[in-house]
């Protein structure tokens, strides 16, 4: 990611993150509406899942400038997600839902440059997570 992309992700996230639940709710609503087959991978009651999701977003945004920190966290996350039943092809689906949810809940939407920056941030994390899924036989 470029320094400009880091700044775009951070600034757009500040606009988006007025409240945790709207981001998580928009993401999961979109994910399950478009891919209902993924719903069984998640708990029935989603409050704790919303919290985990937003905590992860906050962590990634805060640490994007420290790439090694984000990558180590992504490896751990990838290993846990494999245990949950996540397959490599799910990462693209999740990325699409994330970008759409961010555009939906960010006041003023996301500019094309912000969208590209979020795409780059997601690729950084998901590529490492997917590598852990692939490396462990997923």
The model's pLDDT over 65-81, given as tens digits with 9 standing for 90+, comes to 999 999 999 999 999 99
Checking if the pLDDT of 133 tops 80, the result is no
For 3-135, the fitting CATH number among 1.10.490.10, 3.60.20.10, 1.10.3720.10, 1.10.357.10 is: 1.10.490.10
CA–CA gap between residue 6 and residue 21 (Å, rounded): 23
- Across residues 5-18, what is the average pLDDT? 84
- Confidence check: pLDDT of 55 > 60: yes
Segment 90-100 shows an average pLDDT of 95
Based on its alpha-carbon atoms, the radius of gyration of the chain, rounded to whole angstroms, reads: 14
DSSP 65-121: TSHHHHHHHHHHHHHHHHHHT--TTHHHHHHHHHHHHHHHHSTT---HHHHHHHHHH
Mean pLDDT for 88-112 is 93
Domain locations along the chain: 3-135
Section 93-121 average pLDDT: 93
Instruction: Report pLDDT for 19.
Output: 62
Q: pTM of the predicted model, to two decimals?
A: 0.85
């Amino acid at each position: 990611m470029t320094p400009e992309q880091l700044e775009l992700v951070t600034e757009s996230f500040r606009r988006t993150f007025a409240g945790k639940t709207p981001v998580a709710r928009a993401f999961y609503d979109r994910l399950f509406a478009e891919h209902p087959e993924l719903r069984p991978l998640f708990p029935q009651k989603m409050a704790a899942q919303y919290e985990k999701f937003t905590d992860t977003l906050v962590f990634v945004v805060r640490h994007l400038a420290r790439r090694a920190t984000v990558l180590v966290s992504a490896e751990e996350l990838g290993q846990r997600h494999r245990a949950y039943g996540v397959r490599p092809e799910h990462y693209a689906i999740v990325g699409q839902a994330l970008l759409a949810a961010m555009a939906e809940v960010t006041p003023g939407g996301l500019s094309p440059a912000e969208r590209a920056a979020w795409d780059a941030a997601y690729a950084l994390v998901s590529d490492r997570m997917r590598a852990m899924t692939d490396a462990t036989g997923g």
